[in-house]
């Protein structure tokens, strides 16, 4: 007795929703600290503004981190979108456009996890998801939203590729490492990813 109806792997439990939300909020804090402490970093790009795309993975990591920790359909999209909403509420330089960007970026990562039917959470998938969220984000900014509409074609392409590489490293590699480090602390105890640190980097789990 006492067996509650088993939740399926796809269903979000309350703890999944709250943890995903708090990850997005913590991402908002990290954005805030990044803005507050690293304003000069962006000034460093005054000489060649498109190079700032190399750091844009900073804005993309919630998507992959959320998915790797929650391991549910929609986690990448939800975390990225909520992180975008929070940066909009804190006053974003892109206005409501940030919501569209968030949705596009989240979708990039989400599609990769969906392609693996939400069964693979290993390093290659994380790298691919990070790269894809960058490519989606870059295309969104350079072509769809037209933030750089006056760039030359080569510059736009450079922007997309640089964002993808940044996504691969910051949103892909670093979040995968972070998930393992978090699992080691026992902080993921209530979640499906609780033993992420014991899984093989290339494994099926």
Partner 1 sequence: MSNASAARTAERTSKRGLEILATDFGWHHAEREVPALQGLNVRIPAGQKVLLLGASGAGKSTLLHALAGVLEADERQISTGELRIQKQDAFARTFPVGLMQQDPETQIVQSRVGDDVAFGAENLGIAPEIIRARIPQVLKEVGLGDLDLGHRTQELSGGQKQRLALAGILAMNPGLMLLDEPTANIDPAGIEPLRDAVLAAAESTGATLIVVEHRLQAWAKHVDRVLVLAPGGGILHDLNPQALFDDEKIRRELAASGIWVPGFVPVTEPVGTSPGAQLLTAAEMQVSRSVRAVRTRPIDLELRASRALVVLGENGAGKSTLALTLGGLLEPASGTLEASAQLSQGQGSEPFSWRAGVLVGRIGTVFQEPEHQFVTQSVREELAFAPTRARLAGSQQDQFDSQAVERRVEELLERLGLTALADANPFTLSGGEKRRLSVATVLAASPDVLILDEPTFGQDANTWLELATILIEELRSGTSVVAVTHDADFARALEASALHLTREADNAGRRIAVQGPMLDAPLGRSWLTKINPLAKLGAVAAATLPLISTIDWVSACVIIGATLLALPLAGLSVGRFLRRSWPLIIAGALAAWGIALVGEDSGATLISLGILSISEGSVNAGIATGLRAMALAVPTVLLLSSTNPSDLGGALAQQLKVPHRFVLGALAGMRLLGLLVEEFTTLTLARRARGVGDLRSPIQRVKAKLGQVLALLVQALRRAGRLAVTMEAKGFGTGTRTWVRSATFTLRDAAVLTVGILLGSAAIGAALWAGTFNLVWT
| Cα three-residue angle 76-30-187, rounded to 5 degrees | 65
Least distance CB 151 / partner 1 (angstroms): 6
Looking at beta carbons only, is 115 or 175 nearer to partner 1? Answer: 175
- Minimum distance between the CB of residue 108 and partner 1, rounded to whole angstroms? 19
Asked if residues 131 and 100 have their Cβ atoms less than 8 Å apart, the reply is no
Which among 128, 127, 136, 110 is positioned nearest to 56, based on CA atoms? 136
Distances (CA, A) of 50 to 142, 171, 201: 11, 19, 33
Q: Which is nearer to partner 1, 38 or 202 (CB)?
A: 38
Do the beta carbons of residue 88 and residue 198 sit within 8 Å?
A: no
The residue (of 12 and 118) whose beta carbon lies closer to partner 1 is 12
Residue 111 CB, nearest approach to partner 1 (Å): 20
Give the shortest CB-140-to-partner 1 separation in angstroms.
Answer: 11
Q: Which residue do the tokens 């902080």 mark?
A: 187
Closest residue by Cα to residue 101 from 159, 40, 66, 143:
143
State the nearest-atom distance from the C-beta of 184 to partner 1, in Å: 5
CB nearer to partner 1: pick between 115 and 193? 193
Interface with partner 1 by CB under 8 A: which residues?
Answer: 1-4, 6-7, 12-15, 17-26, 28-30, 32-33, 42, 46, 48-50, 78, 82, 85-86, 88-97, 100, 143, 145-152, 155, 174, 178, 181-182, 184-190, 194-195
Q: Output 43 or 115, the one with its CB closest to partner 1.
A: 43
Locate 1 and state its tokens. Answer: 């007795």
């Amino acid at each position: 007795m006492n067996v509650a109806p088993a939740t399926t792997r796809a269903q979000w439990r309350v703890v999944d929703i709250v943890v995903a939300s708090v990850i997005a909020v913590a991402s908002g804090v990290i954005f805030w600290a990044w803005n507050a402490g690293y304003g000069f970093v962006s000034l460093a790009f005054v000489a060649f503004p498109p190079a700032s795309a190399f750091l844009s993975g900073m804005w993309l990591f919630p998507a992959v981190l959320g998915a790797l920790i929650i391991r549910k359909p929609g986690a990448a999209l939800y975390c990225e979108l909520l992180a975008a909403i929070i940066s909009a509420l804190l006053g974003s330089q892109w206005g409501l456009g940030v919501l569209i960007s968030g949705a596009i970026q989240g979708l990039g990562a989400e599609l990769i996890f969906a392609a693996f039917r939400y069964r693979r959470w290993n390093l290659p998938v994380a790298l691919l998801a990070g790269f894809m969220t960058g490519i989606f984000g870059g295309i969104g900014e350079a072509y769809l939203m037209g933030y750089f509409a006056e760039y030359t074609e080569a510059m736009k392409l450079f922007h997309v590729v640089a964002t993808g590489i940044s996504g691969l490293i910051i949103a892909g590699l670093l979040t995968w490492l972070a998930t393992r480090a978090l699992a080691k602390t026992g902080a993921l105890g209530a979640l499906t990813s609780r033993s992420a640190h014991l899984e093989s980097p290339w494994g099926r789990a």
